[in-house]
Structure 1
Amino acid sequence: DLPAGNYYVSIGVPEGYKPSVGTGVIAGTSRTSDVELTPGRDLVIPPVALTRATGSIQGRVTVDSNKNGVADSTEPGLSGVVISVKPSPSSNNLPSVNVSTGQNGLFAITLPVPGIYSVFVVVPEGYTLLNPRSGAIEGINLVRVDQVLQVPPIGVVGKPSSIRGTIVVDVNKNGAFEQGEPGLPSVTLRVLDVTGAVVQEVQTDVNGGYSFGQLASGIFAVQVFA
């Protein structure tokens, strides 16, 4: 029996849970609002619901479009990159979670259990990591279940491409290349970008072959000077 007065109920919330919003618990706490208990009154507290609390690790994968070796916040994000979050060996029985980056390269991985995790990046074909260590961000300590951890931007850069070919002499003048027709050396060729600017200039080798290397992704035209 309680004497008349004002009371509240404090709830011992188990680890990994939090009180649901709108179930009689003051937001951000584990206690009810104050209630007045008058003489002879039996007061019934409404049920308090608990939900599993979750933390998250969030970040972004960006493309180093200006090739300065830094994952700048203004650079475009890369969608479809697989991000894997795995627990450290000391964090037994914790879950591993995989997600793919969405629009603008953003990802958010929900984790229901506190612990120490590592973030791994599955680099898509055609790209390399700016910093190899960013492919394994280790020792991320999620200390409580309602925590949101932001990892530094993860930068990738497109691998260089090339354009190759051969200039041959159409000996029989049939308008088609045929096996055995000779290559033409010392022919000058240029590769142009979409603005018409010259990116590279080369000459064919003794067999008529040519190659433009270390090209960024994009649309190019090859110009031949006969």
Structure 2
Amino acid sequence: MNNILIIEDEAKVSEVIKAYLEREGYKVYCAIKGYDGLNLFNKMDFQLIILDLMLPDIDGEEVCKFIRKTSDVHIFMLTAKVELSDKIQGLNIGADEYLTKPLSPRELTARVNALFRRVDSNKTTMLSYDNGKLKIDKEKRSVLLKGEDIILTPNEFDILYTLALNEGKVLSREQLIQNVYGIDFEGYDRTVDVHIKNLRKKIEDNSKTPQYIITVVKVGYKFGGKRDI
């Protein structure tokens, strides 16, 4: 079971998030002050910390810095600050995700689930789908379709791997760009569409009715393969 620590001074917010996460099977602990959160962190083993930046006793940024001195635990920052400079600062001091309020508990729960899917996937180098029809080897950066090697460009592989890790979750072009190219990408966001088109030609039986890379109109793309157990 994955342990999650919520450090949030609004008790009602913590209670709602806690309820949603516990429905997914996580063990959730809450602290309303930064120092209380640090004390809990030092006493227990957590796999994720959801950290509000506006705390009554110490800034969330300082809490993050303290944690990063000794741990690489995943940290989601929650804040009302929406400027790009604030996001960059948060990522630079050690946040894994920087989420702006108001954020729906359903979206946050989906992001937490996606995180732990990625963590679980990283325990193995091979992702396999549909009884071995499609295999993606992270370490070798190779793809097998029906046992045959499929040659992908680096960006095509990264897009496919990112979608596969977030199986079932819809990713916008902006999210794919951030994951594949980084936040400093200054190109044309339709670049993703070009790579998606080329990927479909290579891995889909019929690119017009794709099985793996599915378009969600006006939102983005999601991966439709069924993970092999």
| Higher strand residue share | 1
TM-score normalised to the size of structure 1?
0.23
| Higher helix residue share | 2
TM-score normalised to the size of structure 2?
0.23
